[in-house]
Structure 1
């Protein structure tokens, strides 16, 4: 009887310990390295658990994290940093994180000159037209794929739908955790809010562990136009990749079932 009681106590203690580990959080305050002033609305994402938050008006934050998780801190105009969660941080409480301001550089702006004649019929022809279209495919639940106007646009769209397997699998097939992260990113409201206000792809590359050029190539292979890639915010890019992958899986299952 005593042995059973000891065994039960050991199992209960183990379960409680694991439960506590799963519920651990880290707290901290983010400040400007140059003056120590607390920074509000700094974006913080746990790259391992795919959970996000932002600092409050006093620069403070609290985020779910475990030992060895990596937190990504970013703020417009400041150098982003990654911080590893340690036992001491969880055990002893709040930590101070410093962000360093970046030097701002203005990019050259090219202004295209339009020679207006004063006649609407003539002048309107000088306005550039965005020839991007979305093609829907019967049986798919989305609005379809986007492509530039050309004689073989439909062929390219269908090719992109049936072929992204090669590219997406080469990018994520060996890293299935990254594809699971896509779903987690779409489910976390805080991360979606962060991505909706970003256009630099930095958070996406950090979460998906890919280079910026590879990220753009993924979207391009899914037949989204250069205009979309250039102007879309990070959330739209995330949704584009996720939509492309999910649609590929639907078509892939249909093709396999057709062979049976």
Structure 2
């Protein structure tokens, strides 16, 4: 019995050590190929961005790209006329060659959307139950002619409405303060030529929201409270919006130090 106990202790210690030993994170460069999901043809000039490292590249004539990455990084792929896609980097992408990523044309992606018209019966009690409910919050302020709809996300929307009217500085502090890591990416984004080229060709704020982890509504709030006009906000391309946010953020940091 005395001999068995030390042996069991050794086995349990070895198993515990094996479980605690974690596989090291793989990091380096990965190579993959982007294809058209409908035709399987390679896609050239697809923009690929590593959202974690804030670096970008584009695919060559064979649809291939190489980009710095680590396991669990997220790649964001974008091409005009195709549905943008996010892909998480896995160990297999480093271990095996021939990784293919398929993008779907928007025409095919839209076919998957089912539009359900309202089925009205003519009976008020039944039709009222079938109509969608608007969960947006409406706020009215004394002295102002119209009410404000603050969105349907959560009750904190009232903070943004009141903050924008009563104290713009507080709204900026809330927006910038909640996303310090994402906003530190601004300088990296401006320095990467591939990312700048992509943003210069886009007007939908989609890439910006993914990179900064801000919502489109937050971007509009930031620009509005930095005294940018509605015309600029609605017509500027994403690169101009990035420069505007960056300029506003620098001014905020100066004011915040004071």
Instruction: Name the TM tier (shorter chain).
Output: 0.5 to 0.7
Q: CA offset at residue 80 of structure 1? A: 0.8
Q: CA offset at residue 166 of structure 1? A: 2.1
Matches within 5 A, 1:7-156: 21-22=26-27, 24-103=28-107
**Equivalent in the alignment of 2:171:** 167
**Equivalent in the alignment of 1:226:** 230
Give the distance between the partners of 2:89 and 2:168, measured in 1 at CA. Answer: 36
Matched, 1:200 2:218: no
Give the distance between the partners of 1:222 and 1:94, measured in 2 at CA. Answer: 47
Shift >6 Å, 4+ stretches: none
Corresponding residue SS for 1:193 = helix
Give the distance between the partners of 2:192 and 2:169, measured in 1 at CA. Answer: 26
**Alignment length (residue pairs):** 180
Give the distance between the partners of 1:69 and 1:172, measured in 2 at CA. Answer: 24
Q: CA offset at residue 170 of structure 1? A: 1.4
Relative to the length of structure 1, the TM-score reads 0.64
Q: CA offset at residue 165 of structure 1? A: 4.2
Corresponding residue SS for 1:63 = strand
Give the distance between the partners of 1:172 and 1:69, measured in 2 at CA. Answer: 24
| Aligned partners of 2:26 and 2:91 also within 8 Å | no
| Aligned partners of 1:168 and 1:218 also within 8 Å | yes
Corresponding residue SS for 1:71 = strand
| Aligned partners of 1:31 and 1:97 also within 8 Å | yes
Q: CA offset at residue 21 of structure 1? A: 4.8
| Aligned partners of 1:172 and 1:178 also within 8 Å | no
What is the RMSD of the two structures over their aligned residues, measured on CA atoms? 2.2
**Equivalent in the alignment of 2:186:** 182
Q: Which runs of 5+ in 1 are unaligned?
A: 1-17, 106-159
**Equivalent in the alignment of 1:139:** none
Give the distance between the partners of 1:179 and 1:214, measured in 2 at CA. Answer: 13
Cα-to-partner distance string for 1:71-114 (whole Å, 9 max, x where unaligned) = 00111111111000001111213310000011299xxxxxxxxx
Gap change, CA 1:27 and 1:226, over 3 Å in 2: same
